[in-house]
Amino acid sequence: MTVHSGPVVESRPEPVRPDARRLLGIDFGGTKMAVAVADAQGRILRSERVPTYAGRGAGQALDRALELAGRLVSDAGGSLAAAGIASPGVVRDDGIDLAPNVPGWERLRLADAVRAALPVSVVEVGNDLNAAALAELRLGALRDADPGLVVGLGTGVATALTVGGSVVAGHRGAAGEIAYAVTGAHWPAVPHDTMLEAVFSGRALDLLAAELGMTGGAAELCRHAERPGPARDALLVRVDELARHLATCCLLVDPRRVVLVGGVARNDLVRGLLAERLTAVLPHRPDVVLSTFADDAALLGAVTMAGEAMAAHR
């Protein structure tokens, strides 16, 4: 199956056979949720994004996403053959670990919820950054690069590793969860007392901006940091901490290419500083590139998951 790898846009309407197979992809995030319906070859037919409203809890987010998915599936016509779901955290059959940004998310059973709401039995659920890595592996910057490392810099921070054409999930599905890496000079007395995500992530940079009297969050902080001053000094401390952990990741797996995804990754200053630091310290330097998928990597990965699940169940 070849998934459409350009921007997620709606294609022109065309006659639809009732038996035409459709793929559903849903990307759940702490800030937004994206839903797409594709044909059996992965070409996007319908797509839409809506805010998560994380503070209102997991239930309303899931309900709204599934309602949107039902509408898009109906609009696209045909028969829904498989669904791929990308979620923050480590997804189990009976819940989700390490997904603290949406209250109640840990109690969701996403595959069961999708099957109950939509006419589909084949449902594949996985971590959102692993889904993004799958999109990069099949369609993007990692097609010719092995091993590959995908670094997600959005609301949170995480990595995903690709080796030999597959995404490495790890023993419990928690490979790449560097948000929980220990930071600072002292070993924490309380578990997770000092976490990398609290130092460098979209949420952490928003808080840093507020501490410096800015109202525009991470984006405003990065604009001020383009010139010397308190904002740049504060940002450099955070970038240096992230770079130390990414350097260790690179030393461990020796990736041919590092792909940066997420809203924070698209900032030229942050991306340039990270590449500069990795280049300075690594004996074997990987390419450091920005994903070409903008906000669509995890969603395209979810559609890819659906397509591969459909093929496996034929």
In tens, the pLDDT along 196-205 reads 999 999 999 9
Estimate to the nearest angstrom the gap between the alpha carbon of 91 and the chain centroid: 14
The span from the first CA to the last CA of the chain, in angstroms, equals 13
| pLDDT for the residue numbered 10 | 46
**Residue 21: strand pairing partners:** 79
Other C-beta atoms lying within 10 Å of the C-beta of residue 271: 17
Dihedral through CA 173, CA 50, CA 54, CA 90, nearest 10?
Answer: 0
Give the model's pLDDT for residue 11: 45
pLDDT digits (tens, 9 = 90+) for 111-165: 999 999 999 999 999 999 999 999 999 999 999 999 999 999 998 999 999 999 9
The confidence score (pLDDT) of residue 65 equals 98
pLDDT digits 0-9 by tens, 234-291: 999 999 999 999 999 999 999 999 999 999 999 999 999 999 999 999 999 999 999 9
pTM of the model: 0.91
3-state secondary structure the chain: CCCCCCCCCCCCCCCCCCCCEEEEEEEECCCEEEEEEEECCCCEEEEEEEECCHHHCHHHHHHHHHHHHHHHHHHHCCEEEEEEEEECCEEECCEEECCCCCCCHHHCCHHHHHHHHCCCCCEEEEEHHHHHHHHHHHHCCCCCCCCEEEEEECCCEEEEEEECCEEECCCCCCCCCHHHCECCCCCCCCCCCCEHHHHCCHHHHHHHHHHCCCCCHHHHHHHHCCCCCHHHHHHHHHHHHHHHHHHHHHHHHCCCEEEEECCHHHCHHHHHHHHHHHHHHCCCCCEEEECCCCCCHHHHHHHHHHHHHHHHCC
Do 110 and 271 meet the contact criterion of CB atoms below 8 Å apart? no
Q: How far is C-alpha 82 from the geometric centre of its chain's CA atoms?
A: 20
Largest CA distance in the chain: 64
Q: What is the average pLDDT value for the chain, to the nearest integer?
A: 92
pLDDT band at 46 (very low <50, low <70, confident <90, very high): very high
Please give the Cα distance from 39 to 24 (Å, whole number): 9
